[in-house]
Structure 1
Amino acid sequence: MTFTLLARLAAPLQSWGAVSRFSHRDTHTRPTKSAVIGMCAAALGHDRTTSLGPLADIRFAVRADRPGTPVRDYHTVGAGTYPIRPRDLITDHRRAAALSAHLEAATGPAFGHHQLTNWYGAPKKISRDPASGALVSAELSRTALITERWYLADASFVVALEHPDRSLLDSMAQALEHPRRLLWLGRKSCPPSGTIAGSVREGTLEQVLTATALLPDASESCPWAWIETREGTAGSTTASDQPVSFHPDQRSHTTRWESRIRITPDPTAAEWDVIP
């Protein structure tokens, strides 16, 4: 006998990075197994150094009731000049000396180092703006660093987690609704909206997803689902998101197999329900 826990992952923005770098942060088209298992581990209060234990044996599936829209968040960091602010109190004599030299050249020695120390502070690399004549900080006047962050906007997914130990799934359901650590959908800037955990039902991933009605905000009548399968299953493909360890010094993943199929919920499918 096997059981399946349902979870609803919905938010204004989600981001499920697959191959991310600092300057380009991508997102998968759906939640990854590694991210969902990590979220469950966080909800249970596990530390990153804690062994995955039975969480590693969970069979995973996701149904895209509302696939969402990819959006790009465009960032530029650096470049430009910034006025010197009086609230930047002096903590470095080299900063004070740099600003003092400019002020003395403009107003004479009345604004010496001693008086400057009491009133002004400034970043390093002081210069004069040729247009306005104002003293500005050129500390950040470097070439702008351009970064891209991708998100899924207005998406809703049904995640299914299958395991023969119902008590494990029950504890995960309670933890998702009363987490011991903060939860987010891929990134810290993407908190979930509404209820996450649904009920634990008897049956396999395929059976439970077919016997569960679409989410209220679903945009697909026959949504795609990605269901974990055995290696070599006909029509299946690989996904490199099977977590092995979340340890900061030993973080690793391996390959698993999944099949993509259309799910047509049974006309008599049970409505989405949550744990009490």
Structure 2
Amino acid sequence: MTPLPTGLLVHLSGPLQSWGERSRFNQRDTSRAPTRSGLIGLIASALGRGRDHPIGDLAALRFTVRIDRPGTLLRDFHTVGGGMPRDLTVITAEGARRGAGKRTVTSERYYLQDAAFTVLVTAPDPTLLQTCGEALRHPHWPPYLGRRACPPNAPLLLAALEREPTMSLLNLPLARTSPGTSTLRVEFRSDAPFSGPAWPPTPENETDVFTEAQDDPISFTPNRSAYRSRSVYRRHLDMPASQCGGLGVGYLTSLSEYLTVLRTESSPASP
């Protein structure tokens, strides 16, 4: 019988990602890391839940995000309705058509280019983790990274862990090239404090950063979506550059080797 998982390791990378945090009207922003609402939405979609389906059980999920590659910010100046006859232009809130000179609707949409994240998913109920892991391995609908125009370039689920999950997150190869120095600074974001024996103590001259974000979803129901605020904890760790797995085939090779060792250590010893 396969043991129930203690956590899930998820890889998020692609040419573009966009994790809206405060998007309003014509300004469509992106957070610098996956949001809680985006991650829960990704899992809900993999489970085959529509936007009007309950997500209360997924509130128990906890996420710790490791920023392997922060990527760069891309601004897309977007237009709708330009050059179209009036009967094909954007409809106003009152149901009328826009007049001459106002037919083109503009917006600014922001994306992360070439970013990569490793996400540790945990929960008090291992059965919930097992269900989410199976859905991420075989998603009901095609997954996307924040917006439908942002497909991932690799499978989402790296491993369903059977050991202490934080240590696996800390030791997993980084999806990036080496900076040419002995160490590199890596940012972690979590919706819970960085506690437990796996986390190194915070240096005396540093503190974990605490902020808040309005991205904890209550409902995704169209026109009635609702979110509450939640705590965001941030920590930076100096990690060995030798942990950089590179890109492309190099990263896949490093990842495969690490996961093979992980599975071997998790397997019960032969009698």
Fold conserved (TM > 0.5)? yes
Match of 2:31 in 1: 28
Match of 1:142 in 2: 101
Answering whether residue 73 of structure 2 is matched by residue 70 of structure 1, we say: yes
- Change in CA separation of 1:272 and 1:254 when aligned onto 2, cut-off 3 Å: farther
Residue 222 of structure 1 aligns with an amino acid whose one-letter code is: R
SS at match of 1:222: strand
- Change in CA separation of 1:123 and 1:264 when aligned onto 2, cut-off 3 Å: closer
Match of 1:272 in 2: 255
How far residue 146 of structure 1 moved from its aligned partner, in angstroms, is 2.2
Correspondence for 2:158 among 162, 176, 198: 198
Return 5+ residue gaps in structure 2 as ranges.
Answer: 89-97, 194-206, 246-253, 264-271
Residue 203 of structure 1 aligns with an amino acid whose one-letter code is: E
Percent sequence identity over matched residues?
Answer: 35
Answering whether residue 189 of structure 2 is matched by residue 226 of structure 1, we say: yes
- Change in CA separation of 1:268 and 1:35 when aligned onto 2, cut-off 3 Å: closer
- Distance across 2 between alignment mates of 1:178 and 1:184: 14
Number of residue-to-residue matches in the alignment: 221
- Distance across 2 between alignment mates of 1:39 and 1:216: 24
SS at match of 2:150: coil
Residue 54 of structure 1 aligns with an amino acid whose one-letter code is: D
Which whole-Å deviations, capped at 9, do the CAs of 1:176-209 have from their partners, x for residues lacking one?
Answer: 131112211111111111121111223254x332
Q: Report if the CA contact (8 A) 2:68-2:176 is conserved.
A: no
Residue 60 of structure 1 aligns with an amino acid whose one-letter code is: F
Residue 163 of structure 1 aligns with an amino acid whose one-letter code is: A
Return 5+ residue gaps in structure 1 as ranges.
Answer: 83-121, 125-138
Counterparts of 1:87-166 in structure 2 under 5 Å?
142-143=101-102, 144-166=104-126
Relative contact order, CA 8 A, sep 6+: which one is greater? Answer: 1
- Distance across 2 between alignment mates of 1:218 and 1:174: 33
Residue 272 of structure 1 aligns with an amino acid whose one-letter code is: L
Match of 1:236 in 2: 210
Correspondence for 1:252 among 211, 221, 226: 226
Q: Report if the CA contact (8 A) 2:191-2:232 is conserved.
A: yes
Residue 256 of structure 1 aligns with an amino acid whose one-letter code is: R
Q: Report if the CA contact (8 A) 1:2-1:164 is conserved.
A: no
How far residue 72 of structure 1 moved from its aligned partner, in angstroms, is 0.7
RMSD: 3.4
- Distance across 1 between alignment mates of 2:52 and 2:188: 32
TM-score by length of 2: 0.69
Match of 2:60 in 1: 57
Which whole-Å deviations, capped at 9, do the CAs of 1:90-126 have from their partners, x for residues lacking one?
Answer: xxxxxxxxxxxxxxxxxxxxxxxxxxxxxxxx979xx
TM-score by length of 1: 0.68
Which whole-Å deviations, capped at 9, do the CAs of 1:148-183 have from their partners, x for residues lacking one?
Answer: 111101111111111133332233222113111221
- Distance across 1 between alignment mates of 2:115 and 2:10: 14
Match of 2:149 in 1: 189
- Change in CA separation of 1:204 and 1:269 when aligned onto 2, cut-off 3 Å: farther
- Change in CA separation of 1:7 and 1:217 when aligned onto 2, cut-off 3 Å: farther
How far residue 10 of structure 1 moved from its aligned partner, in angstroms, is 0.4
- Distance across 1 between alignment mates of 2:235 and 2:215: 19
